[in-house]
Amino acid sequence: MTSEGPTDGARVASGLVNTLDTMAREPDFLQGVDRLERFLRWAGLEARPGLTERDVREVKALRSRLRKVFLAETLDEQVELLNGELLRIRPIPQLARTEATWLVAHRPRSHRLVDELATTAVLGLTDVISSYGEGRLAMCEAEPCECVYVDRTRSGRRRYCCRLCNDRASQAAHRRRRGGTTAAG
């Protein structure tokens, strides 16, 4: 697992944070090694043999730290949190060959799953900030959703984690404009 290749580190970061979803039937998706393996497959990352409950706990702790990045009120706070993670994992830049060319890949100093996952996620988020600037890592504005998203739109005006939340918020605004809510039938 590295920041090279087709894996989108920012997508991995938001996906990991969203494995804790208060609106889901099972709010904490990461319940056990098998769920961690499913998450890694979803993220396009290689699962490794011998994952343990310790790995699950460490990934959940990373999830909490990444959530703080998305919930930070200012860009400076986000940068401070991400820089703290970079100091913790201290990724090493190395040249890596792709099918067509060479690129600089960053690898963690340790081979622990949590550090490899953190390297992918944190470098993905730092890339979003350096490419797009402020306001691109945020929490969904649709009540009561608490999911996060990465805004890569040209205008930078995304407000919801998904189309469902966008539609729910639009419907609620429409009902408010019409003078209140009506009973669903």
How does pLDDT run across 10-24, given as a tens digit for each residue?
A: 999 999 999 998 888
144 contacts: CB under 8 Å, gap ≥ 6: 22, 23
Per-residue pLDDT of the chain (185 residues; tens, 9 = 90+): 433 444 699 999 999 999 998 888 889 999 999 999 999 999 988 878 899 999 999 999 999 999 999 999 999 999 999 999 999 999 999 898 988 899 888 888 888 999 999 999 999 999 999 999 999 999 999 988 999 999 999 998 999 998 888 888 778 777 788 875 555 54
| All structural domains of the chain with their residue ranges | 9-177
What tokens were used for 131?
Answer: 């490419």
What is the end-to-end Cα distance of the chain in Å, rounded? 49
pTM reported for the whole predicted model: 0.85
148 contacts: CB under 8 Å, gap ≥ 6: 14, 17, 18, 67, 70, 71, 137, 138, 139, 140, 161
Per the omega criterion (within 30 degrees of 0), is the bond before 27 cis? Answer: no
9-177, which class in CATH? mainly alpha
